[in-house]
Amino acid sequence: MAESWSFLDTFESNFRPLVVIELAKGTKKETIEWFTKRIVDKKANGGAQLLVKPLVTEKGEENIYLVGASHLRLLLGAETVGLVKECNDNSMRTFTYSSRKTFRDFADDNHNFLTMAECQYIIKHELENLRAKDEKMIPGYPQAKLYPGKSIVRRLLTSGILVQIFPLHDREELKKLRHSWYGRVKVGYQPLDEIRCYFGETIALYFGFLEYFTFALVPMAVIGIPYYVFAWEDYDKYVMFATFNLLWSTVILEVWKRICAIVTYRWGTLLMKRQFEEPRPGFHGVLGINPVTGREEPVYSSIKRQIRIYLVSLPFVCLCLYFSLYVMMIYFDLEQWALDYHEENESNFSSLMLFVPSIIYAVVIEIMNRIYRYAAEFLTSWENHRLESSYQNHLILKVLVFNFLNCFASLFYIAFVLFDMKLLRQSLATLLITSQILNQFAESLLPYWLQKRHKKRMKKRMSSLKTDTDLTLVEQINLEKEMGTYFGTFDDYLELFLQFGYVSLFSCVYPLAAVFAVLNNITEIYSDALKMCRVYKRPFAEPTANIGVWQLAFETMSVISVVTNCILIGMSPQVNALFPDSKMDLILTVALVEHLLLAIKFIMAFVIPDKPRDIQIKLAKLEFESLEALKQQQMKLAAESLKE
């Protein structure tokens, strides 16, 4: 095969493998030949103009390919994806090849100008944008249809010919990162910029948020401790704590937007233009003309989708919520029954029976969560969203609502139906602490242990016990391709979201929640870091300018917590004692305070600017410059026109 790539020979000397393509075993020769030809073919011929090398393993199998690119190709790719880099004058600008000399640290021989994560992102983008020309199908697989403009890689993936594409780890870099991230005991911030260089912006922003959120919880935790230590139960102290919490949660969410803007400005993603989004791989429909691009692609009526969403998904979700509530009621019945049984018999067995309902309920909830997750994924996929982002948003919404109910419904029931504050505090503590421990175990430590065992076995099989950095490329790839895939930050954010719920929804009943949250998050940072570095395949970098729908989710939670906290305070015996004559006055006062707090929250969210002033000025400056450039151009043209 290599003969036909002769024009690449000049580059071959410095071939640096960036991305691994794993094809299905036994993929037809002609398919491989056609696919690799398309990857290396010139841009002008509709290729991606990348470099490709087969990985020859001991067994002589040829189903793994390494993709790289020349330095020049990567620079041009950086322009195509719209990368934003820092210039010599400290401003951030969209990189263009023609203006490359104005960028900081650029030199024709500096191959570190683009980070490895950026190079891999560029290659992924180029591969995904490799489109069918006049092919009607994938050569060798007549059932895998193609049409002009269809992404070849996506079709290969959906038809199972392509098993996976993943970026390679850089052992050296990873070791450095691990060291500065969690390798030594130190007090200080995470190396966010290094994380971003290695894992990309989405993941770095998650860790940034996790860290910020932990710091933001510290004041709550500090204020919460004396309540626990001195067992304060005074009405005025509770009110103060709750009021502080509610306003504080608004402040931290607003300030996060500003910090996010600062960080993503430095990373360049704040300025990055949104690329035109392609249909997601699973999207299907009859072939039609896309009204935006004018290209032939599957088209699916928006009305049909709306019908599916509102007439099927929405009722289904409501049914699930109802069912979940029903299960909860059964749990409370069981609990009552166990209590009665224990009181009647007072034996060892009966005191053991007291735990049975909780255990059953926990197991049932976990099962329901998993089934629901599958159902939500199936339904959202069946809704047939054209864009990955809208698919994600609908999925997140579905999962969020259900998880919210599952986690908090029992607490709401205890608080607002049973009016049992002691039980509420107890349940809250149990739920919070067990869920944190379970999460950390299931999410990081268990996979890490499994991974370690697997690696040892692999190494033994290779019968040479080397350290990580001494692995040959073949060994490294064989190790990495078997690692788990990191499916994005969804579950990590969900965990934080539920934690925020535990902390804020009932903050005036259990001030210690913030303390546990802080402690958990400190270890969470390390266990998540471990997970990213040791357990999973390296994920592709994904540029992002904010935490997206999660910002909205956290803000909604903080609004709901105003309501719950006001009711809790209103129900407390201390507050009730203040209004001995009239319950009505009490309720009216509580309602008034609640509305005032909500109004203050909204005004604060409105008044605090989303971007700090200096970022605003920098953005305005860029906009002004582009307007001026346009005007200059027009003036030149005008002067010429008027001369004629």
In whole angstroms, what is the distance from residue 595 CA to residue 562 CA? Answer: 9
Alpha-carbon distance of 374 to 203, in angstroms, equals: 24
Q: Measured from the CB atom, is 218 or 638 closer to a copy of itself?
A: 638
Distance CA 244, CA 221 (A): 12
Is 639 a binding residue for a copy of itself by CB under 8 A? The answer is: yes
Answer yes or no whether residue 314 interacts with a copy of itself by CB under 8 A. no
- Extract long-range pairs of 123-126: CB within 8 Å, 24+ residues apart: 123/18, 123/19, 123/50, 123/67, 123/68, 123/69, 123/77, 124/19, 124/165, 124/167, 124/540, 125/77, 125/80, 125/81, 126/48, 126/50, 126/69, 126/77, 126/80
Report, in Å, the least distance between residue 585 CB and a copy of itself: 10
Of 427 and 564, which has the nearer Cβ to a copy of itself? 564
| Residue 417 touching a copy of itself (CB under 8 A) | no
Q: Out of 76, 144, 321, 368, name the contact with a copy of itself by CB under 8 A.
A: 76
C-beta closer to a copy of itself: residue 350 or 389 = 389
For a copy of itself, give the closer residue by CB, 97 or 378: 97
Any contact of residue 97 with a copy of itself (CB under 8 A)? Answer: yes
Binding segment for a copy of itself (CB under 8 A), chosen from 68-76, 102-110, 348-356, 360-368, is: 68-76
Residue from 164, 171, 91 nearest 620 by CA: 91
CB 564 within 8 A of CB 574: no
Backbone φ and ψ for 284, nearest 5 degrees, come out as -135, 165
Of 96 and 435, nearer to a copy of itself (C-beta) is 96
Q: Which of 401, 402, 558, 391 is nearest to 488 (CA)?
A: 391
N- to C-terminal Cα distance for the chain?
A: 60
Instruction: Output 276 or 349, the one with its CB closest to a copy of itself.
Output: 276
Q: Is residue 387 involved in binding a copy of itself (CB under 8 A)? A: no
- Work out whether 289 is an interface residue with a copy of itself (CB under 8 A): no
Distance between CA 91 and CA 477 in Å, rounded? 39
Residue 101 or 422 having the CB closest to a copy of itself: 101
From the CB of 316, what's the least distance to a copy of itself, in Å?
18
Q: Is 593 exposed, middle or buried (0-12, 13-18, 19+ CB in 10 A)?
A: middle
How many Å apart are CA 99 and CA 620, to the nearest integer?
21
Q: What are the phi and psi torsion angles at 498 (to 5°)?
A: -65, -35
Q: DSSP letters of 358-387? A: HHHHHHHHHHHHHHHHHHHHHHHHHTT-SB
Choose one: 71-79, 161-169, 216-224, 421-429; the region binding a copy of itself (CB under 8 A). 71-79
- Give me the least distance between CB of 75 and a copy of itself, in Å please: 9
577 lines the binding site for a copy of itself (CB under 8 A): no
Cα 4 off chain centre by: 42
- Of 453 and 621, nearer to a copy of itself (C-beta) is 621
**Rounded CA gap, 333 and 513, in Å?**
27
Q: Work out which of 44, 231, 286, 417 binds a copy of itself, going by CB under 8 A.
A: 44
For residue 507, give the nearest of 425, 586, 575 by alpha carbon.
425
- Shortest distance (Å) from residue 544 CB to a copy of itself: 19
Of 90-98, 215-223, 234-242, 425-433, which part binds a copy of itself (CB under 8 A)? 90-98
Which residues, at least 6 apart from 184, have a Cβ–Cβ distance to it below 8 Å? none
99: its two tokens: 């203006």
| Interface residue with a copy of itself, options 273, 348, 349, 573 (CB under 8 A) | 273
DSSP string for residues in 82-145: T-EEEBTTS-EEE--STTGGGBTT--TT-TTSS-HHHHHHHHHHHHHT-B-SS-SEETTEEEEE
Nearer to a copy of itself, 4 or 632 (CB): 632
Stretch in the footprint of a copy of itself (CB under 8 A) among 223-231, 290-298, 403-411, 440-448: 290-298
* Whole-angstrom distance, CA of residue 491 vs CA of residue 443: 10
Assess 422 for contact with a copy of itself (CB under 8 A): no
How far apart are alpha carbons 80 and 97 in whole angstroms? 10
Query: Helix 388-416 vs helix 549-571: angle between axes, to the nearest 10 degrees?
Result: 10
Could you say whether residue 563 binds a copy of itself (CB under 8 A)? yes
Q: Does 591 bind a copy of itself (CB under 8 A)?
A: yes
| List 4, 12, 42, 632, residue binding a copy of itself (CB under 8 A) | 42
The residue within the footprint of a copy of itself, chosen from 6, 10, 98, 463 (CB under 8 A), is 98
Q: Which is nearer to a copy of itself, 286 or 584 (CB)?
A: 584
Task: Give the nearer residue to a copy of itself in terms of CB position, either 68 or 447.
Answer: 68
Q: State whether the Cα torsion 393-399-402-408 is positive or negative.
A: negative
- The dihedral over CA atoms of 409, 411, 415, 418, expressed in degrees to the nearest 10, equals 80
DSSP annotation of 275: P
Helix (H) or strand (E) holding 224, with range, is helix 201-229
Question: Interface with a copy of itself by CB under 8 A: which range of 227-235, 264-272, 511-519, 614-622?
Answer: 614-622
By CB under 8 A, name the one of 587, 596, 629, 632 that touches a copy of itself: 587
Minimum distance from residue 618 beta carbon to a copy of itself (Å): 9
Contact between 617 and a copy of itself (CB under 8 A)? yes
Q: Which is nearer to a copy of itself, 225 or 588 (CB)?
A: 588
For residue 535, give both structure tokens: 């357990």
**CB-nearer residue toward a copy of itself: 367 or 591:** 591
Does the protein bind a copy of itself through residue 302 (CB under 8 A)? Answer: yes
Stretch that binds a copy of itself, among 246-254, 311-319, 508-516, 619-627 (CB under 8 A): 619-627
Among 33, 79, 335, 491, binds a copy of itself (CB under 8 A): 79
Count residues binding a copy of itself (CB under 8 A).
41
62 binds a copy of itself (CB under 8 A): no
CA-based torsion, 617, 620, 625, 631: positive or negative: negative
Contact footprint for a copy of itself (CB under 8 A): 42-44, 49, 72-73, 76, 79-80, 96-98, 273, 275-276, 291-293, 302, 563, 583-584, 587-588, 591, 595, 613, 617, 620-621, 623-624, 627, 631, 634-635, 637-639, 641-642
